[in-house]
Chain A
Amino acid sequence: MAETKELQVKEKQEISTPAEHTKPGLIFTPAVDIYENDNEIILLADMPGVVTDDISIDLKDGVLTLTGDVKPWENDDESDVLIEFEIGKYYRQFTLSEAIHQEKIEANFTDGVLKLTLPKVAKAVPRKITVSNG
């Protein structure tokens, strides 16, 4: 396949959470890629417009929660000409089935993409015990 396909517009997916948030505003689910290799699970999430400090990642009881706050980037004196997308918070939760090394989780945010590396806990290696004569 020599030719790359054209990107299509995907409407941002708005969600409603069971509990209402104290701060009003829209909440979107970020698009994610999740893949794993033998040692780790890697998660990539698109969160454009978020500042690194406003991202929070929480792993509790096997539930991974990603949130990203977006500050309005328009100046007050700007008036709309054409509005095709809206901005808002990003929020998404995942249940992890595998045990994760909590202390070794790495997170990196570049160009609006969050990369999370979740190292798997090494499975107990079966140990062979040899009995020696003596």
Chain B
Amino acid sequence: MITRRMFNFPAPRAFRHPFFEIDALQKEMDRWANLINSKRSFGGLNAGVFPSLNITEDKDNYYIRAELPGIKSEEIDIQLNGRSLTISGERKTELSEENLKYHRRERDSGKFSRGVMLPGDIDVENVNANMVNGMLTVKVGKAELAKPKRISVN
């Protein structure tokens, strides 16, 4: 009796369907992605513009927070234009003394400007900014229309 194998099928080990190959590749890529993410504590989205911002909301306000150590509150300029918020200023690490020897210089100085678009309409009259221990908090009230409404069912 003659058995004939078409395209070497079924070969016990060598054959793998192309889709399985893609699947394996996908798994491998996922594994690498996980490895990279796990090493970085924060592989999140970052605009790459100083300062980094955290924005949170509750039902009445947006809170925009930034770490701005060593900057006086009067040196920060905050502007609201429609939904867009701009935080700008300059950080100085001044040194007047002479005859100094530096061991480390990790703290940068320079100008910064960061704009961000808020996700909803805001109440321009209801905004305040606060600087506590190098942490800036800008509280922006939501416009009446943007606040969540509870609708009662009759």
Residues on A lying within 8 angstroms of B by beta carbon are 4-12, 14, 26, 31-38, 44, 46-52, 73-75, 77-86, 109, 111-113
Contacts and interface: CB of A to CB of B under 8 A. Distances in A.
Given A49-B67, A84-B44, A111-B134, A35 B72 contact: no
A34 to B, nearest CB: 4
6 contacts: A4-B109, A33-B102, A73-B65, A78-B56, A86-B42, A112-B134
Contact of A36 (B71, B90, B103): B103
A36 B110 contact: no
Q: Classify the interface of chain B: helix, strand, loop or mixed.
A: loop
A123 B96 CA distance: 26
B71 A111 contact: yes
A113 B106 CA distance: 13
A9 B134 contact: no
Given A35-B102, A82-B116, A51 B133 contact: yes
Interface string B87-120: 0001101010101111111111111100010010
B150 to A, nearest CB: 15
Contacts of A82: 45, 53-55, 116
Closest 7 CB pairs of A and B: A112-B134, A112-B69, A48-B134, A84-B52, A48-B67, A31-B106, A78-B56
A22 B62 CA distance: 33
Contact of B135 (A12, A14, A49): A49
B23 interface: no
A37 B95 CA distance: 12
A6 B111 CA distance: 5
Given A7-B108, A37-B101, A74 B56 contact: yes
Contact of A49 (B93, B97, B111, B133): B133
A98 to B, nearest CB: 11
Contacts of B131: 111
Contact of B50 (A9, A38, A48, A86): A9
Contact of B99 (A6, A12, A38, A48): A38
B107 A31 contact: yes
B107 A32 contact: yes
Contacts of B133: 48-52, 109, 111-112
Of the candidates B45, B100, B112, B134, the one having the most CB atoms from chain A within 10 angstroms of its own CB is B134
Given A47-B134, A112-B69, 13 more contacts: A4-B109, A6-B112, A9-B52, A31-B108, A34-B104, A36-B100, A36-B101, A36-B103, A37-B97, A81-B62, A84-B53, A85-B53, A113-B69
